[in-house]
Amino acid sequence: MTVKRKHKLTKKQKKQLLLEIVILILATIGAFTLVFWIGRGVAGVISGRQEKKVVQTPPPLDVELLSINKYSRPGVALEKVNGIVIHYTANPGSTAMQNRSYFEGLKDSHETMASSHFIIGLDGEIVQCIPTAEISYASNERNADTISIECCHPDETGAFNEATYDSLVSLTAYLIGKFDLSTEDVIRHYDITQKMCPRYYVEHEDAWEEFLSDVDRYIQENGAVKKDGT
| CATH code, residues 62-222 | 3.40.80.10
Q: What is the pLDDT of residues 163-187, one digit of tens each?
A: 999 999 999 999 999 999 999 999 9
Percentage with pLDDT > 90 across the chain: 70
Distances (CA, A) of 64 to 25, 76, 94, 116, 152: 73, 18, 17, 12, 17
pLDDT of residue 46: 40
Q: Is the entire prediction scored with pTM above 0.85?
A: no
Report, in this order, helix, strand and coil percent for the chain, each rounded to 5.
45, 10, 40
Domain ranges in the chain are 8-53, 62-222
CA distance 145 to 142: 6
Q: What is the pLDDT of residue 54?
A: 45
Count Cα atoms within 13 angstroms, Cβ side, for 112: 7
